[in-house]
Structure 1
Amino acid sequence: MATEGEFWHEEAHRIRLAKEIGVLGVRTECYGPVKGEIDFLIKAPNNVDFTKFDHVVEGDLNVTSGILQIQDCPNGTVEFEKQITPENYRIRVYSSNLASVEGDEGNDFYRIEVWGSNPLGSKLLKEYINN
């Protein structure tokens, strides 16, 4: 497993998505409790209005175990778990209300969409620049 510096390298911080085999890390704006939702889709979403979101990124996750988990960081507590077909998935993360965060709290919100797909690498679809 990669060390934190290797996992959360400069580019991973910028696009808010870190990856290694079997793991994706999502950079959140706050370090307090995170609010969000996850949706499993049959195919890639089309015609999404990115103006509703501050930041949008997607990447690949090859799930070989048949179990998808969302764990908190740094404790590793399982917050969500679902049995899924072992295959490669695209994971798209929509981040919103990022400017609302002050310190460790805010109204930032994360929507995660998951669908089966061939590996396509990481793609930054909309970038949030914190001024």
Structure 2
Amino acid sequence: MKVQKFNFDTQYNQFYISSVGKDFNADEKKDMSSFTEDMNRRLGIEKNALIVFTESYGKIRGDIQVLENASINSDYRNYDHIVEGSINIESGVLQLLDSPHSHIELSINVDPGRYKVRVYSSNLSSVKETDLPHSTDKDYYHIELWKNDNMETKVIKQYKEQ
């Protein structure tokens, strides 16, 4: 499948990858110890959804691509942080949503099923203040997903702030 670009505003240094129907505004009790772990690995796991933790607060730029199989030719040196997680897309529709309003920013039709998701983060050091939007922020998020039943979450490359 072709690469689809995204560019939208979000808040709280995060955006969501979701199967249709996930309500991030629902009043759910969160385990704060797992939240810290999620922030460190830059990926939170929810039922039928993922939370991508970003370096910048406002404008989020990136692209997403649905693959037949995992990409094996990536040069990890081009990225600051790489993490894999999994999502069950029961609906057959994958959505990117902003935070905190869960507005749909991009929808992609896919075959229903379990998918491995790899998030590559780059240019993280361009963000000088992580709690305010700035036009100088150049962080970028490349997302790949492919059908896979392995639901393991793992950090492939950990970002270390300079």
TM over 0.5: yes
Among residues 55, 60, 81, which one is paired with 1:55 in the alignment? 81
Distance (Å, rounded) in 2 between the aligned partners of 1:99 and 1:66: 35
Deviation at 1:4, TM superposition (A): 4.9
Among residues 100, 103, 116, which one is paired with 1:77 in the alignment? 103
Q: Specify whether residues 4 and 74 from structure 1 end up closer, same or farther in structure 2 by C-alpha distance, changes over 3 A only.
A: farther
**RMSD in angstroms over aligned alpha carbons?**
1.7
Deviation at 1:47, TM superposition (A): 3.0
8 Å contact kept, 1:43–1:115: yes
TM-score (norm 1): 0.93
Deviations 1:57-80 (A, max 9, x none): 010000101110000111211110
Distance (Å, rounded) in 2 between the aligned partners of 1:19 and 1:7: 13
Could you say which residue in structure 1 is the equivalent of 2:152? 121
- State percent identity of aligned pairs: 37
Number of aligned residue pairs: 131
Could you say which residue in structure 1 is the equivalent of 2:41? 15
TM-score (norm 2): 0.76
> Structure 1 residues 59-68 or 2-11, which shifts more?
2-11
8 Å contact kept, 1:70–1:80: yes
Distance (Å, rounded) in 2 between the aligned partners of 1:55 and 1:3: 28
Instruction: Flag as ranges the 4+ runs of structure 1 deviating above 3 A.
Output: 1-8
Q: Specify whether residues 73 and 8 from structure 1 end up closer, same or farther in structure 2 by C-alpha distance, changes over 3 A only.
A: farther
Structure 1 gap ranges (5+): none
